Amino acid sequence: MELINKNEIGKKLSGRLLLNKSMKYIFLLCTLVGLVVLATLLIDTIIDGWSYLTTDFFTNFSSSRPENAGIKGALIGTLWLMATTAPIAIILSVGTALYLEEYAPKNKITDFIKINISNLAGVPSVVFGLLGLTLFVRMAGLGNSVLAAALTMSLMILPVIVVASQEAIRSVPSSIREASIGMGATKWQTITRVILPASLPGIITGIILSLSRAIGETAPLVVIGIPTILLFTPTGVFDTFSALPMQIFSWVKMPNPEFQSITAAAILVLLFILFLMNSVAIYIRNKYSKRF
């Protein structure tokens, strides 16, 4: 009496192998969905918007007449926003990461700060908009200025840069830290001369990636009340401004079908900027990864 019927197993095996093989292709198909959607989105947008990418498009301000509409105000506004957001976000986030990795004592308060940061990362951007509206626009009296928007954006991307910087700092081997301290360097000298230079590629990658998230972020700007039709560019951080994603959002809602193409053209510009930033980040990451 055999407990295992070898023939049965043999018969079932071919079915199992067939299932194995076919499921492999189904998984591959799932992987390709993202690729296909990305390609469709890009091709569709290029077909719609390519012919509208003229010099006038870059030098004209926004307009309610499609033939005159351009992105000058929005593009320059976005650059202002990024140039103001970057230093604020970098100081806040890298400072926080340094404190948590290098100075923070191991206690409940530090644990709380860490949990708090990972919870902040999950707060929807529109809620950050509400915070910015109340705190910066109304209470601080900054109005819908570049600075109010930049402060809001900085707080929004803070958790991402903090986590990326923490990882980069942690990846510096402690043997190098010991070498520096062992030569009589102080803690801060060790941080500025050894640890930060060694973790810089990781930190920069994190900064660029989160700035590229901020650059396309629309919801907080809408909530803060950034105008969409503006016939001047800001001259300082207290001026009001417009931004590319805001411009896109306002054009999407236009009933005139010609605006669809203009929207697509603006999207192409935005995607190009993002593509550029991401390429730089990926280049830095690949060039400097695996050094230790």
Partner 1 sequence: MNDYNIREMIDNKKGRRSTMFIEKMVPIILLVITSVSVLTTIGILVTLLSETVMFFTRVSPIEFLTSTEWSAFSSDPEWGIFALIMGTLKITVIAVAFAVPIGLGAAIYLSEYASDRVRRIIKPILEILAGIPTVVYGFFALTFVTPLIRGIWPEVNLFNAISPGLVVGVMIIPMIASLSEDAMSSVPNSMREGALGLGSTRLETVFKVVLPAAVSGIMASIVLAVSRAIGETMIVSIAAGSTPNASLNIMESLQTMTGFIVQVASGDATYGSDVYFSLYAVGMTLFVFTLLMNVIAQWFSRKFREEY
Partner 2 sequence: MTLTKVKEEKNMKTTHDETVQERNFEGRIAEQAQPVFQAKDFNLWYGDNHALQNIDLDFNRNEISAIIGPSGCGKSTFIKALNRMVELVPIVRTEGDILYRNQSIFDKSLTVEELRTKVGMVFQKPNPFPKSIYDNVAYGARVHGIRNKKVLDQVVEKSLKGAAIWDEVKDRLNDNAYGLSGGQQQRICIARALAIEPDVILMDEPTSALDPISTTKIEDLMQELKKDYSIIIVTHNMQQAARISDRTAFFYQGHVIEYDRTNVIFEKPKDQRTEDYVSGRFG
Contact residues: partner 2, CB under 8 A: 106, 173, 175-176, 178-186, 189, 193-194, 197-198, 291-292
Residue 291 binding result from partner 2, partner 1, none, given CB thresholds of 5 to 8 Å by partner type: partner 2
Output 188 or 238, the one with its CB closest to partner 2: 188
* Rounded least distance, CB 163 to partner 1, Å: 11
Residue 21 or 55 having the CB closest to partner 1? 21
Q: Which is nearer to partner 1, 138 or 236 (CB)?
A: 138
Find which of partner 2, partner 1, none residue 16 binds, CB within 5 to 8 Å per kind: partner 1
Give me the sign of the Cα torsion angle 57, 59, 63, 67: negative
At its nearest, how many Å lie between partner 1 and the CB of residue 231? 19
- 38 or 231: whose CB is closer to partner 1? 38
Burial class (CB in 10 A: 0-12, 13-18, 19+), 194: middle
Query: Binds 29, which of partner 2, partner 1, none (CB < 5 to 8 A, cut-off by type)?
Result: partner 1
Say which entry of partner 1, partner 2, none residue 43 contacts (CB below 5 to 8 A, set by partner kind).
Answer: none
The one-character DSSP state at 194 is: I
Query: Which of partner 2, partner 1, none lies near 193, with the C-beta cut-off 5 to 8 A by kind?
Result: partner 2
Cβ atoms of 72 and 140 within 8 Å: the answer is: no
- What are the C-alpha distances in Å from 159 to residues 11, 18, 20, 44, 162? 56, 47, 42, 34, 5
Cα 125 from Cα 68, distance rounded (Å): 32
Residue 112 beta carbon to partner 2: minimum distance, rounded to whole angstroms: 19
**Are the CB atoms for 272 and 106 separated by under 8 Å?**
no
**Which of partner 2, partner 1, none does residue 175 bind (CB under 5 to 8 Å by kind)?**
partner 2
Q: How far is the C-alpha of 271 from the C-alpha of 37, rounded, in Å?
A: 15
Q: Identify which of residues 156 and 198 has a Cβ nearer to partner 2 in the complex.
A: 198
Smallest gap from residue 204 Cβ to partner 2 (A)? 15
Q: Which does 182 bind (CB under 5 to 8 A by kind): partner 2, partner 1, none?
A: partner 2
Min dist. Cβ of residue 17 to partner 1 (A): 6
Smallest gap from Cβ 161 to partner 2, in A, equals: 22
Q: Which is nearer to partner 2, 40 or 186 (CB)?
A: 186
The per-residue DSSP string of 265-278 comes to HHHHHHHHHHHHHH
Among residues 21 and 290, whose Cβ is nearest to partner 2? 290
- Cα 41 to Cα 11, 22, 172: the distances in Å are 47, 29, 40
User: Which tokens is 188 given?
Assistant: 């801060």
State the binding partner of 162 from partner 2, partner 1, none, CB within 5 to 8 A by kind.
Answer: partner 1
- Count Cβ atoms within 10 A of the Cβ of residue 225 and give its class: 0-12 exposed, 13-18 middle, 19 or more buried: middle
Q: What is the 3-state secondary structure (H, E, C) of 23-63?
A: HHHHHHHHHHHHHHHHHHHHHHHHHHHHHHCCHHHHHCCCC
Nearest distance in Å: CB 187, partner 2 = 9
CB of 30 vs partner 1, minimal distance in Å: 3
Q: What is the dihedral of CA 48, 70, 212, 133, to 10 degrees?
A: -120
